[in-house]
Amino acid sequence: MAKEPQTPFEEEVERAERDGEPQSEPVEGELEEADAAKAAEETAADAENLAEPEAEVLAARVEELEQSLAETKDQALRAAAEAQNIRRRAEQDVDKARKFALERFVKELLPVVDSLEKALDAMQEGADETHREGVAMTLKMQLDVLTKFGVETVEPEGEPFDPQYHEAMAMVPNPELEPNTVMEVMQKGYVLNGRLVRPAMVVVSQAAS
């Protein structure tokens, strides 16, 4: 059945009734939950944005500290090695000073030994026996003292010529010996703890022409 047309007055009354109906509004609890959720989302977003640059800064700082630690360790190792080298060199210098402190004194004493040896060789069989024994005993005491302090005699007769320890005074042809063999020792040589103090003066053989 068709609805009867309304008069303007009836339309106005119906519109007023519709406007007067109560509208549904959000509950207060629902508003708070929505606000809290939105705030949480914003906080999480802000935290994520802040976390990225902070993590990069921390990573860079860690790398810097690791590099600094490695450099410090390297410097410490170098310093320890240098200290050990200095200590070793100092010990070697002290040892050399101890071993060769008498070198100058030995050089001054060797002419005395040479004189005693020549005097003993020059004495004839008819010389006073007491005199000979006195000279021989004095020479032996001198040589014992030198030996006690690390002095050794170089007597290379019959050995190959060694320019480090021998000084050739003459070259003599000798078919019975190999060339460059020490034929005669004119003056003994001496070494102090392995270091040459005085070379032996020698006569060296050469091939017969």
- In three-state form (DSSP H/G/I as H, E/B as E, the rest C), the secondary structure along the chain is CCCCCCCHHHHHHHHHHHHHCCCCCCCHHHHHHHHHHHHHHHHHHHHHHHHHHHHHHHHHHHHHHHHHHHHHHHHHHHHHHHHHHHHHHHHHHHHHHHHHCCHHHHHHHHHHHHHHHHHHHHCCCCCCHHHHHHHHHHHHHHHHHHHHCCEEEECCCCCECCCCCEEEEEEEECCCCCCCEEEEEEECEEEECCEEEECEEEEEEECCC
Is the domain of 124 the same as that of 202? yes
Is 76 found in the same domain as 145? no
Q: Tell me, what's the pLDDT at 17?
A: 65
- 191 and 112 both lie in a single domain: yes
Residue 28 has a pLDDT of 52
At residue 9, the pLDDT reads 59
Assigned domain for 16 exists:
no
Task: State the CATH number of the domain containing residue 139.
Answer: 2.30.22.10
Is there a single domain that holds both residue 146 and residue 83?
Answer: no
Res 38: pLDDT: 67
Residues 72 and 139 occupy one common structural domain: no
Q: Which stretches of the chain score pLDDT less than 50?
A: 1-2, 24, 26-27
Residue 172: which domain range?
A: 102-206
Residue 129 lies in a domain: yes
Do 167 and 122 belong together in one domain? yes
Judge if 113 and 174 occupy the same domain: yes
Decide which of 61, 81, 100 is a domain's last residue: 100
Domain count, the chain: 2
Same domain for 172 and 118 = yes
pLDDT at 204: 95
